[in-house]
Chain A
Amino acid sequence: MKFGRFLTGLGVLIVVGVAGAFVYAWKPEIAPIKPPERASFDQALIEHGAKLAAVGNCTACHTNPGGKSFAGGLTIPTPFGTIHSSNITPDAETGIGTWSEAAFQRAMRDGVGRKGEHLYPAFPYDHFTNVSDDDNRALYAFLMTRQPVKATPPPNELPFPLNVRLVLAGWKMLFFRDGAYQPDASQSEEWNRGAYLVDGLGHCGACHTPRNTLGAEKASLHLAGGEAEGWSAFALDGSSPAPVVWDEEGLYTYLRQGWHPDHGVANGPMSEVTGNLGLLPDSDIRAMATYIASIVGEPSAERRAKSEQLLQEIKSGPITSAIGNDQSALGGKGAAIYQAACAACHENGRPQPFGGLDLRLSSTVHAPDAQNAINMVLYGLPAASGRTSAIMPGFADVLTNDQLNDLLGYLRQHFTDQAPWGDVVQRAADTRTGKYHVSVRPSDGIERGPSNIGAEDQ
């Protein structure tokens, strides 16, 4: 009897729980509107929105390389399945043409589409929720005045139950807190501006923060290094692999111009980011540098001394002019490859960004894993079309995986004090077959429009 009552009680509880969850999860549709006329938006607001869209790097996911801007359809591989980005042009049928500003504000703040559907967190609303109403208004004005494109992305390929959007309500309950950015009164106005841009629209953590098994950023490891489109997004905190310590000035220079003499040129998805940031005023870049420098923190005296000593050594020129005789433990093969294939650029003293970086300065060679080094050597840095840019040829068709392993073994041994990478051959094989998906972009990939022909997915 008692047990029966217990069961009934449990049943009621489950029903109430499920109903409650459903009520929590259910979001109403926001009525469609007729796509607004361009004249209904203030020109200054549209221009402001263009800058904000650049900060948000909207184009990176919502434009297919070679396709129409913001028309979506980019394949985004995730550990859970494949997502295709949506069309955010103001086309009424296939884009967001029927979205009112309120619907747009809700998507940014709560990750909910106009019809009330929960959006997948590949759309980084965990960051975008920080964006102010005013900035969302400007973004809306910008997007609603783009060229409408009729294009429907392919359906997402996600296994059950992830293909049921209601499940996302549970994900949000666990990992998502909505609400606009609240300034930290103990910090400067500049720092707060930087935090707003970096943690909000800039969504730096989407790549630079590691994720848990359910794909949510680990809050305790904020900006401690993550992954982006097959590239390691290096740690921005004290664990950064950069041989020269990042400081506010260095970060400002790098973010402003896309390269830094002591760190090299932005590559992979980051080149798109620095390209986009070109639209921002110096003051915003400065604010971002201020905030990130506070994340980097004060380096230890030992680290600082090592960094300064390295800079002194660099000034006296390359160290490896005699490497032909370096018949080291790695059989000298890696050294010979380096000398013949790499040194012509990496040791000719030509300054950044057009010369090869002295690899003693390279975060990639000092990194915890070999992925970026593999990507760099296999695919290089494609030239940007129609303008001067940094460039590096790729060696995918020259080097076998064993030869690549010899080369990277040599680089690691010769240019760093780090332990060898153990898994280069396997990683390289997975990278080449596409089992591990890597996207390759030109150094200043601002737009993924048709003229950006260097962009391709490997």
Chain B
Amino acid sequence: MKLNVNGSTHEVDADPATPLLYVLRNDLELNAAKFGCGLGQCGACTVMVDGKAIFSCLTPILLLEGREIKTVEGLGTIDSPGPMQQAFIEEQAAQCGYCIPGMMMRAQALLQSKPDASDAEIQTTLEPNLCRCGTHMRILKAVKRARELMKTAAMAPASGERKV
């Protein structure tokens, strides 16, 4: 079946009941989303589908035909990180980093639909995502920074190139 991931269409040869997470990591070699609990309780596997944050470990690909999937790889590149990625780098929000892709995708989904989300809304929204290292304060700081960077990015040239 065909999957639309980060703007391009991929032909995937997998059982339709396969969780999206496995297809992303094993078939498409997009390794940002992580396997944490496999039960939708830790958030490490969070990606975006049609702009909403979902647990990819619990989402069989048969549900995703014709829908837009986005992972951290779709937010920017190493050379040209997107505002969410840039914010996490600037705030040095990762410790071990395992939870970070999930945190970024859930935060991205929030700020895309609600660019002026309040600090409290950010905290509430990130509740399903756990961080074992305890870097929550830095993660929250990074998301708040991303909130500002995304506003600037929204005004940047249409090429998507980030001006430094």
Query: Are B127 and A337 interface neighbours, CB within 8 A?
Result: no
Q: Report the minimum CB–CB distance from B25 to chain A (whole Å).
A: 16
- Please name all residues of chain B whose beta carbon is closer than 8 Å to the beta carbon of A339 when the two chains form the complex: 17, 60
Q: Report the minimum CB–CB distance from A89 to chain B (whole Å).
A: 23
A345 at the interface (CB under 8 A from B): yes
B94 at the interface (CB under 8 A from A): no
Q: Report the minimum CB–CB distance from B29 to chain A (whole Å).
A: 21
- Please name all residues of chain A whose beta carbon is closer than 8 Å to the beta carbon of B52 when the two chains form the complex: 397
- Please name all residues of chain B whose beta carbon is closer than 8 Å to the beta carbon of A391 when the two chains form the complex: 41
Which of A336, A399, A453 contacts B127, CB < 8 Å? A453
Which of A340, A395, A453, A454 contacts B19, CB < 8 Å? A340
Known: A336-B16, A344-B39, A383-B127. A393 touches B58 (CB 8 A): yes
Which of A383, A385, A398, A454 contacts B54, CB < 8 Å? A398
Q: Which of A439-456 contact B (CB under 8 A)?
A: 453-454
Known: A336-B17, A393-B55, A397-B52. A341 touches B60 (CB 8 A): yes
Query: Are A393 and B62 interface neighbours, CB within 8 A?
Result: no
Q: Which of B57-77 contact A (CB under 8 A)?
A: 58-60, 62-63
Query: Are A453 and B54 interface neighbours, CB within 8 A?
Result: no
Q: Which residue of B lies closest to A397 (CB)?
A: B52
Query: Are B59 and A393 interface neighbours, CB within 8 A?
Result: no
Proximity bits, A340-369, B CB within 8 Å = 1, else 0: 110011000000000000000000000000
Q: Which of A316-347 contact B (CB under 8 A)?
A: 324, 333, 336-337, 339-341, 344-345
A163 at the interface (CB under 8 A from B): no
Whole-angstrom CA separation of A453 from B52 in the bound complex: 20
Query: Are A403 and B63 interface neighbours, CB within 8 A?
Result: yes
Question: Number of residue pairs across A and B with beta carbons under 8 Å?
Answer: 55
Known: A340-B60, A399-B63. A453 touches B124 (CB 8 A): yes
Q: Which of B39-62 contact A (CB under 8 A)?
A: 39-41, 49-50, 52-55, 58-60, 62
Query: Are A340 and B58 interface neighbours, CB within 8 A?
Result: yes
Which of B41, B53, B60, B123 contacts A336, CB < 8 Å? B60
B38 at the interface (CB under 8 A from A): yes
Whole-angstrom CA separation of A345 from B55 in the bound complex: 14
Q: Which of A363-399 contact B (CB under 8 A)?
A: 383, 385, 391, 393, 395, 397-399
Q: Report the minimum CB–CB distance from B40 to chain A (whole Å).
A: 4
Whole-angstrom CA separation of A134 from B41 in the bound complex: 47
Q: Report the minimum CB–CB distance from A184 to chain B (whole Å).
A: 48
Query: Are A393 and B128 interface neighbours, CB within 8 A?
Result: yes
- Chain A residues within 8 Å of B, Cβ to Cβ: 324, 333, 336-337, 339-341, 344-345, 383, 385, 391, 393, 395, 397-400, 403, 453-454
Q: Besides A333-B62, A336-B60, A397-B50, 18 other CB < 8 A contacts?
A: A336-B16, A337-B17, A337-B63, A340-B58, A340-B60, A344-B39, A344-B58, A345-B40, A383-B127, A391-B41, A393-B41, A398-B49, A398-B54, A398-B55, A398-B58, A399-B63, A453-B123, A453-B124
